[in-house]
Amino acid sequence: MNEKMSGQRVLVTGSGTGIGREIALEFARQGADVAVHYSHNDAGARSAIAEIRALGRRAEAFQADFKDAAQVRALGSEAIKFLGGVDCLVNNSGITFNQPFLKVTEEQFDAVFDVNIRAQFFLTQVIVEDMLQRGRGSICNITSVHGLAGAPEHSVYAGTKGAIIAYTRSLAVELAHKGIRVNAIAPGWVTVENYFKAIPGFNEADASRVAAEKIPLGRSGEKGEIAKLAVFLCSEDAGFIVGQTIVADGGTTSLMSLISDFRNPSSAKFGTGYVPGV
Q: Which residues are catalytic, by number?
A: 157
Measured CA to CA in angstroms, residue 218 lies from 27, 144, 184, 195, 257 at distances of: 28, 19, 24, 19, 16
User: CA–CA separation, 113 vs 130, rounded Å?
Assistant: 25
Could you give the strand order of the β-sheet that contains 33-38, starting from the edge strand earlier in sequence? 59-63, 33-38, 9-12, 88-91, 137-142, 180-187, 245-248
User: CA–CA separation, 170 vs 183, rounded Å?
Assistant: 10
Residue of 55, 21, 88, 58 whose CA lies nearest to 232: 88
User: CA–CA separation, 235 vs 245, rounded Å?
Assistant: 16
